[in-house]
Amino acid sequence: MVEQDVALDIAAFLRITSYMTNTAMSRQWGATRRVRIRTIGALITAACTISCSFGPAQKDELFAYTHNRGALTGISSVTERSRGRYRVLRIMLTSNTGVVARGIVMEPTPDRGHLPAVLLEDGREENSGAIDRLPAEFGDVVVLSLDYPPSLPTTISLSDALFHSDALRTTAQTIPQIFSLGAAYLAQRGDVDTTRIAIAATSFAVPFATIAAAADTRFQNVALIYGAGDLSAVLAANLDTRPAWLRRPLAWLATRPFRSLSPERFIGAIAPRPVVMVNGSDDPQMPVDAARDLYNAAREPKTQIWLNTGHLMPTDSALIRSLVDTALARLPVLARSR
């Protein structure tokens, strides 16, 4: 169901594409314009062919994420200043495979038990600060937000992309494991109803949340806010490279090492659990077709909500809060708590 009424964070790749563009423009091209266009066209065709070689994620691939996550073996917490009627804890989770997750959890008081719970994730720059997007009163819901691994850089140089892509990809693959460890933590809490655990992710967090939800069925509902498939197209839409025909091949080169993490490979495995997508129809930096690609890869039950909003900026707290609330309001597991 589509309602008319958001990926990969491209910031980490801007340095790569900028450097590559400068290098390409400084070369002395001896070929004619027609030959250059044919060359780029061939590259784009090859890119599409190779990218499409990654089909839907298989069961053994999903099992690897939960296996590598391991079992939750350690929980430590420090109480912070309360926010209204919500108790705030800073926590650290560890698994028997060495996965470590740090974050913030907010729990309503008094403890009524059997509450729904949400793992809320946003961009790399936000980390567990995404929890600040919640309004002062958000109902009887336990909310957890986790930090990204410290080894995940906020910027990537050309040499990193060319010579250290394996290390970057390994770090990226630990993020769904961290999210899944968050589900394990929520499920073991005495005040949480294990049948009412959801994950809500915005922008950069969308691919990782999609993988985590596909691999871990404890996430009963999934909300994807300003997310999209076709990560190469998303990056290309954010480039101002001249000539314009360089944008798509450069974006492909930058995202190629991470194509196995494409969310459209995993989203179909979430069914029959519901998926809600919220996207902006007037956002030039998140192509509508790419958002539809991700939605089309999902299976029923699914809902896509289109809002008349522009580009989502990390600093636009009001818009992010509105988008999160729009998504959470449509999650069945929260229906009795809001």
- Assess whether pLDDT exceeds 90 at residue 174: yes
Find the farthest-apart pair of alpha carbons in the chain and give their distance in angstroms, rounded: 74
Q: Cα dist. 254→9, 17, 22, 57, 259 in Å?
A: 12, 7, 15, 22, 10
Q: Cα dist. 285→200, 229, 305 in Å?
A: 21, 13, 18
Region 122-151 average pLDDT: 89
Contacts of 84 (CB under 8 A, 6+ apart): 136, 137
Supply the pLDDT for residue 326.
82
Tell me the pLDDT of the chain averaged across its residues.
81
Q: If pLDDT is split at 50, 70 and 90, which confidence band does 12 have?
A: very low
**What is the dotted CATH code of the domain comprising 2-334?**
3.40.50.1820
Supply the pLDDT for residue 93.
98
Q: If pLDDT is split at 50, 70 and 90, which confidence band does 125 have?
A: confident
Compute CA 100 distance to the chain's CA centroid, rounded to the nearest angstrom.
Answer: 19
- Assess whether pLDDT exceeds 80 at residue 318: no
- From the CB of residue 264, how many other CB atoms can be counted at a distance below 10 Å? 23
Supply the pLDDT for residue 113.
82
Region 26-51 average pLDDT: 46
Give the tens place of pLDDT for each residue, 69-116. 999 999 999 999 999 999 999 999 999 999 999 999 999 998 888 899
3-class DSSP state of 211: helix
Give the tens place of pLDDT for each residue, 21-37. 343 334 433 444 444 44
Region 201-229 average pLDDT: 94
Q: Alpha-carbon dihedral of residues 280, 283, 289, 294, nearest 10 degrees?
A: -50
Alpha helix (H) residue ranges in the chain: 14-26, 33-51, 59-69, 158-163, 165-188, 206-215, 231-236, 247-255, 288-297, 317-328
Residue with the bigger pLDDT between 53 and 311: it is 311
Q: If pLDDT is split at 50, 70 and 90, which confidence band does 65 have?
A: very high
3-class DSSP state of 139: coil
The model carries a pTM of 0.82
Report d(CA 61, CA 201) in Å as an integer. Answer: 22
Nearest to 317 by CA among 141, 130, 127, 148: 130
Report d(CA 187, CA 275) in Å as an integer. Answer: 20
Supply the pLDDT for residue 107.
96
User: Across the chain, how many H-helices and E-strands are there?
Assistant: 10, 10
In DSSP terms, which residues pair with 75 in a beta bridge?
93
Task: Kindly tell me the sign of the dihedral angle through the C-alpha atoms of 173, 266, 138, 109.
Answer: negative
Residue with the bigger pLDDT between 321 and 291: it is 291
